[in-house]
A = this chain, B = another copy of it.
Amino acid sequence: MAGGKTHSVSPLAPEGMPELPPIAGVEIGAIEAGVRYKGRTDLMMMRFATGTVAAGVFTTSKCASAPVDWCRSILGKGGARAVVVNSGNANAFTGKAGAAAAKTVAVATAKLVGCKADAVYMASTGVIGEVLPAEKVTAALPKLATTLRPDRWDEAARAIMTTDTFPKAAVRKTDIDGKPVTIVGIAKGSGMIAPDMATMLSFVATDATIPGDVLQALLAKAADKSFNSITVDGDTSTSDTLLAFATGKGVTHKPVTKLGDAHFRHFKAAFEDLLVELAQLVVKDGEGARKFVTVTVTGAQSAKAARKIALTIANSPLVKTAIAGGDANWGRIVMAVGKSGEKADRDKLTIKMGGRLVAEKGAVHPRHDEAAATEHFKGTDIVIEADVGVGKGSATVWTCDLTHGYIDINADYRS
């Protein structure tokens, strides 16, 4: 891939892309704008039918990028008519010039689509500290706008890649009160691009009719169980962006009025499931990843506490290197539980690896089978469970191992 060394496809990649059906009210295109890369598409656009509503969840970074600032400023103001995404330049840490560049792109897109600028969402991923060359984007937009088609999800997934080793997409067909609706989503993961940083972007669209506030509540909740429950290295991009769009152009269905509507239950589950699949694909393309790791914590004071403990385990370099080495090192899990800062009862702590009891009541289990645990850790699908014995909060997070590949990608790529 241009912009950095080519890395071979992750061993955890799925066999191929799912078939991605058109979503009524969504047209998609991708083009080579030459923002930074050569010989590949780097600008993606989706145009939405009038009446489309948007929801967004963004990075918690205090140094958010200009496109994130832009999206936050327009969210909830009105409908969404387009989203424009470029790779190669993140337009982050670029001050007022960066904000102006973002606005230029929004205004140009709005003109082409025939809407106000505040109906244009955007995201950028790539180099930080360099102002987005808005003119390269605006020069490419007119041609891009003429080539939009409903069946180009696959190309969109490829255009937003940076050092991702495979494109990421998922689809769910579900129903609202028996009426068929479809959800499609694409994502890019935490691949690094020279010379800068990891970013997670995801764009999801459905033909269902969902009020903006319900879509926002749904997205925020589902994000916590998916993208906020994965980690590669614990680092947080300035540009992380998750946007959902509901066009309301599918089959007419009973109106959705709130998140708790009984007839919305299938959709809610399918939506969350799709986000979990996309989030897991990001982990499976983690830099240097050779193993997929599921960490479940139960018995915590709250779901939030459980997630913090699970993320502490999943982010621990000592745990991650033990997994890379196929070393069923439960002591490092105890260490990580202890350092999380959340309440845990050492004398009730239970740890399982691959479903087998390893430690119980604050000490190694008398029938702990080290050979079986090691066998599990030598596999590629690692499951760690910890019950911390103080409450009913639970959470599951996903991560990958920490390997020489991670160091290669992040330390050696300039040498």
Contacts and interface: CB of A to CB of B under 8 A. Distances in A.
Interface stretch (A113-121, A149-157, A195-203): A195-203
Contacts of A412: 325
Contacts of A338: 59, 61-64, 236, 238
A262 to B, nearest CB: 38
A347 B97 CA distance: 12
Interface of A: 59-64, 92-95, 97-98, 127-130, 192, 195-198, 233-238, 315-318, 321-322, 324-327, 329-332, 334-344, 346-347, 349, 359, 361-364, 402-404, 406-407, 410-415
A335 B407 contact: no
A236 B331 CA distance: 12
A332 B63 CA distance: 11
Contact of A403 (B321, B341, B363, B411): B411
Given A238-B338, A317-B406, A338-B238, A95 B363 contact: yes
B407 A403 contact: yes
A236 B128 CA distance: 32
Contact of A404 (B64, B93, B340, B404): B404
A411 B404 CA distance: 10
A44 to B, nearest CB: 23
A316 B232 CA distance: 12
B335 A236 contact: yes
B63 A334 contact: yes
B346 A128 contact: no
A346 B195 contact: no
A129 B331 contact: yes
A361 B98 CA distance: 13
B411 A233 contact: no
A65 B233 CA distance: 28
A59 B334 CA distance: 13
B414 A407 contact: no
A73 to B, nearest CB: 15
Nearest to A323: B411
Given A238-B334, A317-B317, A339-B235, A344 B63 contact: yes
Contact of A325 (B325, B335, B337, B410): B410
Given A94-B363, A338-B63, A347-B95, A331 B128 contact: yes
Contact of A410 (B60, B64, B318): B318
B411 A407 contact: no
Contact of A129 (B62, B315, B359, B411): B359
Contacts of A361: 95
Contacts of A64: 338, 346
Contacts of A198: 318
Contacts of A341: 60, 62
A405 to B, nearest CB: 9
